[in-house]
């Protein structure tokens, strides 16, 4: 659930809508303050970060600095589309694994908020790319895909592109294209957006040897009768 919808709404009008109501000198008017839910989210985030990083006092030494930092962090989160509780949780989870006692920068935290494929038991981009390359060969197209996300990235890139890699430049272009498509599809999967289902494999069923003999004998008998 997106608890931070208001988080975005506050900033849709302009990026200068901060946490405070300080005057906007350029437009000669007061900034619109963020709503209480948005403030609570940012306050909780800062409280959590202060608990995780013991050296936070060096970065946020007084209330004014903390207030300004909250405003800049909020802007950074909105500008980079980190507007859901789920993304914030990914960032905080990775913060807990950091060995440094110092609080990360907004940019570093935003990177932490981007879920890795492994967080959802998905293959890495390189592993997915290797699978797509292998599956682009006609002889391998009836194999089972490891995941629908890999299949979707493969479809977006196209088997023709994956097969036509005659030189380094072309290989690099196709690889980057697949990586972009995979990243985009992973995000859609994480956000529960629709993606294509895996193709249904058609199993070729052949009759058993004894049954095949009976079928062949019956067909031959009917053929002979037709010649009489």
DSSP state of 143: S
> Distance between CA atoms of 160 and 25, rounded to whole angstroms?
56
Q: In terms of Cα–Cα distance, which of 130, 165, 158 is closest to 145?
A: 130
* Intra-chain end-to-end CA distance of the chain, in Å: 77
Is residue 83 within 8 A of residue 11, CB to CB? The reply is no
pLDDT tens, residue by residue, 85-95: 888 998 999 99
What does the pLDDT look like over 217-227, one tens digit per residue? 666 666 666 66
Burial 107-143 (b: 16+ CB within 10 A, else e): eebbebbbbebeeeebbebeebbebbbebbeeeeeee
Q: What is the pLDDT of residues 181-196, one digit of tens each?
A: 998 899 888 878 888 8
Q: pLDDT tens for residues 42-58?
A: 999 999 999 999 887 77
């Amino acid at each position: 659930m997106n608890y931070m919808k208001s988080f975005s709404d506050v900033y849709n009008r302009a990026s200068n809508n901060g946490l405070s109501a300080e005057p906007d000198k350029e437009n000669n008017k007061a900034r619109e303050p963020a709503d209480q839910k948005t403030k609570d989210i940012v306050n909780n985030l800062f409280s959590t970060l202060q608990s995780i990083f013991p050296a936070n006092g060096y970065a946020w030494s007084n209330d004014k600095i903390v207030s300004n930092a909250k405003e800049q962090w909020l802007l950074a989160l909105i500008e980079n589309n980190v507007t859901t509780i789920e993304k914030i949780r990914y960032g905080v989870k990775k913060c807990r694994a950091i060995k440094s006692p110092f609080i990360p920068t907004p940019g570093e935290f935003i990177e932490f908020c981007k879920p890795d494929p492994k967080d959802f038991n998905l293959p890495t981009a390189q592993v997915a790319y290797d699978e797509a390359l292998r599956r682009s060969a006609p002889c391998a197209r009836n194999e089972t895909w490891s995941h629908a996300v890999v299949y979707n990235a493969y479809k977006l890139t196209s088997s023709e592109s994956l097969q036509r890699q005659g030189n380094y430049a072309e290989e690099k272009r196709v690889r980057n294209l697949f990586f972009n498509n995979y990243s985009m599809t992973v995000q859609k999967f994480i956000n529960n957006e629709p993606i294509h289902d895996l193709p249904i494999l058609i199993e070729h069923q052949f009759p058993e040897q004894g049954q095949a003999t009976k079928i062949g004998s019956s067909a031959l008998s009917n053929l002979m009768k037709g010649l009489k």
